[in-house]
Amino acid sequence: MPAHRSTMGSKFRTRSSSPMELRPMLSEVSVLSRSDGSASFSQGDCCALAAVYGPGEVKVAKELSDKASVEVVFKMKVGLPGCKEKIQERILRNTCETAIAATLYPRTAIDIVIQEMHNSGSFLATCINCVCMAMLDACVDMKYLVAAVTCGLNSEGELILDPTLEQESDLTALMIFAYESSNFEVIATYTTGSFTSDQFQICLIHCREASKHIFQFFRDTMARKLSK
Amino acid sequence: MAADFKTAQPVEYYRKFVEKDVRPDGRELGEIRPTMINIGSISTAEGSALVKLGNTTVLCGVKAEVTNPKSEEPDKGIIVPNVDLPALCSPRFRPGPPSEQAQVVSQFMVEVIQNSGCIDPKDLCIKAGKHVWVLYCDLVCLDYDGNVTDACVLALMAALKNVSLPKVTLNEESGNLETHMQEKWGLNILCQPVATTFAIFDDCIVFADPTDEEENLATGKVTIVTTEEDKICFVHKPGGSPLSDDKLQNCLQRSFIRAREARNLVETTLVNVDR
């Protein structure tokens, strides 16, 4: 199945121009031939590849009688998986469990594998977006789409949306929010650094606005794929 | 008859209580279980604390050793937290390699220490590039009745406050380290993070401090770690039901209140400790 590309390069400018814009996004679906669904997603230089296998056979130990059992494996470019990868797998797995209409597939397993291609800042958000695209490609029934946005606060208290790896090093706080597409409520958050409650609320609101662009990007990519 | 209803339809059983704004154990939705702390009970460890949050029991022991620092950070000491959820604490854990839950909570502790900046690693330096202190913080759960994260964070903070290290100097001529056991110093704790966990039930009700049964029925969880002056250092919501902004704001407010109570409790307990 030919891969379908979609870019949003023209709408979003690069990092140096404005801190309130997302990095240009690029996505290809159906990149892998053997999986039920796959997608590669990149935001700026940051790139991830996800594959979805399912709903399929489940091991008896992991079988759930009323819904699908979702399993996520996160593969880094170098090194052996450690505790840090476990926390990311936990976040991805719980986010997918909420988004997938798991009760439609009892006693099955949905396996998701994510491969880090290039980490250039805000990587967890890229992974979540990539997994959502892969699930769309696999045609797994979902309750809503999930989009993740990262934002950082620097020492002056300014908000920087979607920071790159260089920008990440001098931030006092970094926050990742994942939103769902029906009511734009928060599904997942992950933060580093310390901040006040007001700063948290401001970041929440700005990231919500940015997530709407990502949802539109998902729709455009799938529309292009299906129109061929 | 209530026990039969609970086994057959646990979610409906819970809904009946939640309609009246209580939970089966008699607590209100925002109420936290009674907390008990015991500090300094392990004499062989440099610092220790035992925390009981309702039935959930976590024991933390801090051991200090001298080691070579990492080459990228030659003047910084190392803190290594490790959470162990043995088969003893709950039937859901089997003996063998650490479960995913144990690894996630261990990583959580690493993040809390880093994000809050409670200890400056430079304080733990003896001679830059050669000798630094490494603090091994081992947290063992003795009884798993839900919300082990909050108990772990509290136990770790209380144990770190209890740590007393001997003064170690480097003898320039012989190149050996000399330990002065009579001169002890406590760690300089810059801030005290406190964690509060909430469980989301039925996509709309938020409970504070879930027990093991409530965790199994929950459709989502949020953990918020706050430090002094109402600063937030970690918001961890690993997926689960979506939460609206005002509910998230309520959780934040509740966790600030809880953090103050927990810090007071640790302070009063420390006053009564011999060491």
Report domain extents, chain B. 22-274
| pLDDT for residue A226 | 87
Task: Please give the Cα distance from B204 to B222 (Å, whole number).
Answer: 13
B250: Cβ contacts below 8 Å, ≥ 6 apart? B206
Q: Is the pTM of this model over 0.90?
A: no
B105-154 pLDDT, tens digit each:
999 999 999 888 889 988 888 888 888 999 999 999 999 999 999 999 99
Residue numbers in B near A98 (CB within 8 A): 219-220, 239-242
| Token reading at B171 | 């003898």
The helix/strand/coil state of B248 is helix
Distance from CA of A181 to the nearest CA of B (A): 11
Q: Chain A residue with minimal CA distance to B251?
A: A197
Task: Please give the Cα distance from A59 to A61 (Å, whole number).
Answer: 5
Return per-residue pLDDT of chain A as tens, 228 residues.
Answer: 444 455 543 333 334 445 678 888 999 999 999 999 999 999 888 899 999 998 999 999 889 888 899 999 999 888 888 888 888 889 999 999 999 998 999 999 999 999 999 887 778 999 999 999 999 999 999 999 999 999 999 888 888 888 888 888 888 889 999 999 998 999 999 998 888 889 999 999 999 999 999 999 999 999 988 887
First to last CA, chain B: 52
A190, B104: Cβ pair inside 8 Å? no
**Cβ atoms A179, A158 nearer than 8 A:** no
Give how far Cα A7 sits from Cα of A38, A41, A145, A216, B211, Å.
Answer: 17, 10, 19, 12, 47
| pLDDT for residue B198 | 94
Q: Sign of torsion, CA A98 A100 A101 A104?
A: negative
Domain B22-274 architecture: 2-Layer Sandwich (3.30)
Q: B32: closest CA among B270, B219, B191, B224?
A: B224
Q: Chain A residue with minimal CA distance to B255?
A: A197
ipTM: 0.84
**Strand residues in chain A grouped as ranges (E):** 4-7, 25-29, 37-43, 46-56, 69-75, 109-118, 146-154, 159-161, 171-180, 186-193, 195-196
| pLDDT for residue A19 | 64
Report domain extents, chain A. 25-227
Element (DSSP H or E) covering residue A183: none
Note whether A92 contacts B: Cβ–Cβ < 8 A.
Answer: yes
Which of A90, A100, A103, A190 should one mutate to test binding to chain B, selecting the residue with the greatest count of B CBs within 10 A? Answer: A90
Q: Name the packing angle between helices A83-99 and B100-116 (round to 10°).
A: 110
In residues, how long is chain A?
Answer: 228
Report residue B205's pLDDT band, with 50, 70 and 90 as the boundaries. confident
Residue-wise burial string across A200-225, b where 16 or more C-beta atoms lie within 10 A, e elsewhere:
beebbebbbebbebbbebbeebbeeb
Give how far Cα A165 sits from Cα of A118, B150, B230, Å.
Answer: 11, 31, 29
Q: Chain B residue with minimal CA distance to A203?
A: B245
Q: Determine the distance from the C-alpha atom of residue B82 to the mean position of all C-alpha atoms in its chain, rounded to a whole number.
A: 11
| Token reading at A113 | 């594998």
First to last CA, chain A: 11
| pLDDT for residue A34 | 92
Note whether A39 contacts B: Cβ–Cβ < 8 A.
Answer: no
Residue numbers in A near B196 (CB within 8 A): none
Task: Please give the Cα distance from B119 to B142 (Å, whole number).
Answer: 27
Residue numbers in B near A186 (CB within 8 A): 237, 242-243, 245, 248
Encoded amino acid at B220, one letter: G
- Is the preceding peptide bond at B74 cis, omega within 30 degrees of 0? no
Domain A25-227 architecture: 2-Layer Sandwich (3.30)
Distance from CA of A82 to the nearest CA of B (A): 8
β-partners of residue A51 are A38, A113
Three-state SS letters, B203-235: CCEEEECCCHHHHHHCCEEEEEEEEHHHEEEEE
Note whether A87 contacts B: Cβ–Cβ < 8 A.
Answer: yes
**Cβ atoms B46, B147 nearer than 8 A:** no
| pLDDT for residue B274 | 61
In residues, how long is chain B?
Answer: 275
| pLDDT for residue A9 | 39
B239, A87: Cβ pair inside 8 Å? no
β-partners of residue A1 are none
Encoded amino acid at A112, one letter: I
Task: Please give the Cα distance from B228 to B89 (Å, whole number).
Answer: 32
B210-259 pLDDT, tens digit each:
999 899 889 899 999 999 888 899 999 988 888 888 899 999 999 999 99
B240, A187: Cβ pair inside 8 Å? yes
DSSP output for B27-83: -BTTPPPPEEEEES--TTSSEEEEEEETTEEEEEEEEEEEEPPPTT-TT--EEEEEE
Which residue's entry shows tokens 């604490």? B89
Pairing of strands B47-53, B56-67: antiparallel
**Cβ atoms A131, A53 nearer than 8 A:** no
